[in-house]
Amino acid sequence: MNPPFISMVVILYNMRREAGRTLQSLSAAYQEDFSPEDYDVHVVENGSAEPVDEAFVRGFGPNFHYHRLVNPPSSPAHALNYGIAKSKGRLVGLVIDGAHILTPRVLAYSRKLASAVACPVVTVRRFFLGPGQQPQTTQCGYTQEVEDELLERIGWPKEPYRLFEIATFMGKRRPGWFGRFWETNCLIVPRAVLDVIGGCDERFDRPGGGFLNLDLYERCTEYPGAQVFVLLGEGSFHQVHGGTTTNVSPDEAEARIETYRQDYARIRGRPYEVPLVQMKFFGSLHPRSFLV
Amino acid sequence: MSLGPSGALELSVVVVTYRMRREAPRTLYSLSTAYQQGVSDNRYEVIVVENPSDEMLSAGTVQSFGPQFSYCTNPQPSLSPASAINLGARQALGRHLMLMIDGARILSPGVLGETLTALRLYDQPVVATLAWHLGPDNQARSIHKGYSRQVEDRLLADSGWESDGYRLFSISSLAGSCGNGWFFPITESSCLTMSREHYEALGGYSEEFQSPGGGLINLDFYARAVANPARPLVILLGEGSFHQVHGGVATNRSDDEPLRLFREEYQRIRGRPFTTPHTTPIYFGPMPESAKPFMRRSFNKAQELYRQRYPYLRDASLQSMKEPGPKPGDAQAPRPQSRSLTVLGMHRSGTSALAGSLMECGVDFGNVSHWNRHNVKGNNENQAIVDLHDRLLADAGGAWDAPQDVVPWESRHRQARDMILAQLRTTRSAWWGFKDPRTLLTLEGWREAEPGMRFVGVFRHPETVAQSLVVRSGLSRSHGLDLWLRYNQRLLALYKQQPFPILHFSDNPEDFLQQLHRLAALLELPTPPGGLRFLEPELLHAAPLHTEPLPRPVARLHDELHAVAFYRPEIQSLLRQTRQPA
């Protein structure tokens, strides 16, 4: 049997509410031009106290697989590596935070790029659901209930691109579609790249991984011969849950980021700097993607 | 049209030249491997087809740019480039054709490489680049302000474009064919690539177009090329073609005469007027820093357009979650030193100009819109208030253009109102205020929460308002006049309860400015050192032709408003006497 074209690895940690939407957005019914034979999804439950059911995951399609890790390291690095090892796809998509809903052409555009360039590194812009940065909005009344109502108001998942009506670019300085980039919650790369760089560095062992995701982005985008693409008009949309930096107060988030920075300097032997990557863009800009 | 056998080449570039001894060498250099990035000379060929003139290129000049360059002259000379470009296509060996109908255009350095990649993304896509004019403006205008070949030569020499072609963006302006940039429809492409099969199916360029330069031939070809949904349109981002000034038929003329003739020719050939195709593109390519200003302008313009068209989290309750700030209960705690001033008036009656002037005098209108396509200076409306009003009116079964006699405020409306007021009351100014013509329909709920609210009104001639509504909103004249009546009846009724200044928005800027200065004096508002500047003559559209008499109730109300208008000295005197202490 041929390996699937893409394997998506999704890490869950106490995300019973959020996982349903994330997985639905990865289903063949939602992703355009993909049938279950073309790809698979490996959901890795990373030691959650409140895990989802295996049957719930499998309910999204025959191509959905569930792996439950018991007492794993607190960082998602090991869980990602576990999912990478379990999967067989020629491309691997890493969703480090399973609370992100995707738009429907992420997989199709990734496949197009893989057909046109030798080593595509595909990245997807991140958005917060709600009217602003969730560390702020959650201090001012934004809750899971408000979010549920918003998603209901746009009729998700019927018209998925209406997500842009209820979302905000992640990042204090509003990067926009063409701004600099150093992290994504949906990184799709050829398996060979992960093999060569050795996957995720498990020395990033903080809960949430600290700069694990930045480190992974940096090492993939600097891979020799890689062409880095940002998908235009596509996005990943963060649902509010108790994330390690996304859903704590701004002061607390700052303090944690400083610790992560120190970890990075210790592991890599140099301070973290945003990589200077030559990005290219690919995609269609739905009128609603101008709203954010 | 049937082309010759296709070889192993991926791409054939066909370039048409005519009297371009100065321009063509730069164009051809920009197609060479010395300049284009990431592409080798065995992947493409360049075929130059020249229409005969007394200023021709030589084969040697063309071939000096590389072994993949060839040259021929068109044996069927014509004023139109159609036969020349079709001749080049017939000679082409590539599986794809890149068509450059005007050989005076320099390409940016990624055009070939990005096009070759884009061709692999889809089955037979059409790959288009946008066009720029070298120089500070569209050349049709700049050549009348001193832009010339000599100026351009110096500009190019100083730019260092030959070593970094993306610098061309820094010395160029968008061409008229794509004046709104990447995120709006374009009318043509001067560097358009497609499969041979698609080109053949289209029958190539239409040789029926015989106007000088081909008239609308390139627009016609582009429109036909992108009309097939099975041939997706890919637009290259961050790349472009850059037109050198050379006395072209359309690009370097300032009058509309050629265009008129071209349109007539198009209509004659196609049996309908030319319209811009609205094919949704897929974008592909880089975005170099030098191109970003064009990207941002285009993006912002598209954003303004789509924010008008689609809702975007405008609820006050959601907006208030953006920043830690006042909560609903805070509405009961106004800052004692600030007072509120509400602008009242019918749509299209000068409320924006009045609000803008009050803002110049320090009245804080909160977070307002400074953009509106019907109002060059912006409408100065607080979107949260407009949204609340729209919901109130809709819940009452009406709309701004279908006013209901009673607009009930329910608790959810009050909650949104209190959040808006709490935000406005955080001002550090002595006055805060808001303006939305709908306020005349919803005022009761505002007065309930802000009993001390003061008003400034404005009215305008009913015929002018009605005609503006005809143009802006597509209403009939009688509907517009009826709306004028219903809004202004409320304005006058309020005045009769407690007089307040009602300005007359006349078509004389000086007159209105004088009223504004008197208003500032009455309210003890500081005017800016240079005087009030907001009102500009362009805001005052020409007075309408009064073709029909006004309906009697409208004419009578108009007279009544003039009788209490603020420009009257006796009204100013009355208002001074009844003025509340500061």
pLDDT of residue B332: 43
Task: Please identify among residues 230-259 of chain B the ones whose CB lies closer than 8 Å to any CB of chain A.
Answer: 237-238
- In this predicted structure, which of B107-116, B155-164, B397-406 has the lowest mean pLDDT? B397-406
**Residue B325: its chain A contacts at CB < 8 A?**
140
Tokens of B508: 């004389």
**Residue B280: its chain A contacts at CB < 8 A?**
284
Could you write out the DSSP letters of every residue in B33-48? TTTSSS--TTSEEEEE
Sequence-separated (6 or more) residues with CB below 8 Å from residue B382: B365, B366, B367, B368, B369, B420, B434, B436
Class for domain B338-577, per CATH? alpha beta
Q: How far apart are CA A87 and CA A93, in angstroms?
A: 10
Residue B321 has its nearest CB partner, among A116, A142, A287, at A142
Task: Please identify among residues 281-340 of chain B the ones whose CB lies closer than 8 Å to any CB of chain A.
Answer: 281-287, 292, 295, 299, 302-303, 305-307, 309-313, 318-325
Q: Are A279 and B286 inside 8 Å of each other by CB?
A: yes
pLDDT of residue A247: 62
Residue B295 has its nearest CB partner, among A140, A178, A280, at A178
Q: How far apart are CA A211 and CA B503, in angstroms?
A: 61
Q: How far apart are CA B450 and CA B422, in angstroms?
A: 11
Has residue A120 got a pLDDT over 70? yes
Q: What is the pTM of this model?
A: 0.72
List residues bridging with A8 in a β-sheet: A41, A93
Sequence-separated (6 or more) residues with CB below 8 Å from residue B183: A285, A290, B298, B299, B301, B302
Q: Thinking of the domain B11-304, which architecture would CATH place it in? A: Alpha-Beta Complex (3.90)
- What residue type is B406 in one-letter code? V
Q: Does A177 contact chain B (CB < 8 Å)?
A: yes
Q: Are B312 and A291 inside 8 Å of each other by CB?
A: yes
Q: How far apart are CA B386 and CA B435, in angstroms?
A: 9
pLDDT of residue B338: 76
- In this predicted structure, which of A4-13, B382-391, B479-488 has the lowest mean pLDDT? B382-391
Phi then psi for B344, rounded to 5 degrees? -120, 135
**Residue A132: its chain B contacts at CB < 8 A?**
321-323
Cα within 13 Å of Cα(B272), Cβ side: 4
Q: Are A177 and B282 inside 8 Å of each other by CB?
A: no
Q: Are A141 and B320 inside 8 Å of each other by CB?
A: yes
Instruction: Tell me the average pLDDT across B358-370.
Output: 78
- For residue range B516-569, what is the model confidence (pLDDT) as tens digits? 989 998 988 887 776 776 554 444 544 455 567 899 999 999 999 999 999 998
Tokens 């269609």 correspond to A284
Q: How far apart are CA A38 and CA A31, in angstroms?
A: 11
Has residue B336 got a pLDDT over 60? no
Considering only residues B1 and B576, tell me which one the structure prediction assigns the higher pLDDT. B576
List residues bridging with B97 in a β-sheet: B12, B194
Instruction: Tell me the average pLDDT across B264-282.
Output: 96
Has residue B132 got a pLDDT over 80? yes
Neighbours of A183 (CB within 10 A): 18
Domain-by-domain residue ranges, chain A? 6-290
Report which DSSP code applies to B364. B
**Closest by CA position to A94, among listed A82, A105, A111, A108:** A82
Tokens 């003739």 correspond to B261
**Residue B286: its chain A contacts at CB < 8 A?**
278-281
- For residue range B276-328, what is the model confidence (pLDDT) as tens digits? 999 999 999 999 999 999 999 999 899 888 887 887 665 666 777 775 554 44
pLDDT of residue B323: 59
Task: Please identify among residues 16-55 of chain A the ones whose CB lies closer than 8 Å to any CB of chain B.
Answer: none
Helix (H) or strand (E) holding A187: strand A187-190
Residue environment code for B90-123, b if the CB has 16+ CB neighbours within 10 A, otherwise e: eebbbbbbbbbbbbbbbbbbbbbbbbbbbbebbe
Domain-by-domain residue ranges, chain B? 11-304, 338-577
- For residue range B432-451, what is the model confidence (pLDDT) as tens digits? 999 999 999 999 899 888 88
A-B Cβ pairs (cutoff 8 Å, strict) = 94
pLDDT of residue B524: 86
- In this predicted structure, which of A5-19, A205-219, B414-428, B456-470 has the lowest mean pLDDT? B414-428
Q: How far from chain centre, in Å, is Cα B366? A: 26
Looking at CATH, the fold of the domain delimited by A6-290 is given as Spore Coat Polysaccharide Biosynthesis Protein SpsA; Chain A (3.90.550)
Q: How far apart are CA A61 and CA B282, in angstroms?
A: 30
**Residue A115: its chain B contacts at CB < 8 A?**
120-121
Q: Does B229 contact chain A (CB < 8 Å)?
A: no
- For residue range A232-249, what is the model confidence (pLDDT) as tens digits? 999 999 999 965 555 667
Angle in degrees, CA B520, B524, B528, rounded to 5: 55
Best mutation target, A280, A288, A292, to test chain B (most B CBs within 10 A)? A280
Relative to beta strand A39-46, strand A64-69 is parallel
Instruction: Tell me the average pLDDT across A260-272.
Output: 96
Q: Are A165 and B311 inside 8 Å of each other by CB?
A: yes
- For residue range B73-110, what is the model confidence (pLDDT) as tens digits? 999 888 889 999 999 999 999 999 999 999 999 999 99
Q: Does A108 contact chain B (CB < 8 Å)?
A: no
Tokens of A254: 């700052």
Sequence-separated (6 or more) residues with CB below 8 Å from residue B581: none
Residue A67, min C-alpha distance to chain B (Å): 34
The share of chain A scoring above pLDDT 90, in percent, equals: 85
How many residues does the structure list for chain A?
292
- What residue type is B361 in one-letter code? C
pLDDT of residue B316: 63
Q: Are B283 and A137 inside 8 Å of each other by CB?
A: no
Has residue B582 got a pLDDT over 50? no
Report which DSSP code applies to B247. -
Phi then psi for A227, rounded to 5 degrees? -115, 120
Has residue B373 got a pLDDT over 80? no
Q: How far apart are CA B57 and CA B397, in angstroms?
A: 72
Instruction: Tell me the average pLDDT across A276-285.
Output: 95
Residue environment code for B428-462, b if the CB has 16+ CB neighbours within 10 A, otherwise e: ebbbbbbbbbbbbbbbebbeebbeebbbbbbbbbb
Q: Does A118 contact chain B (CB < 8 Å)?
A: no
Q: Are A132 and B292 inside 8 Å of each other by CB?
A: no
pLDDT of residue B257: 77
Instruction: Tell me the average pLDDT across B216-225.
Output: 98
Taking the alpha carbons at both ends of chain A, their separation in whole angstroms is 43
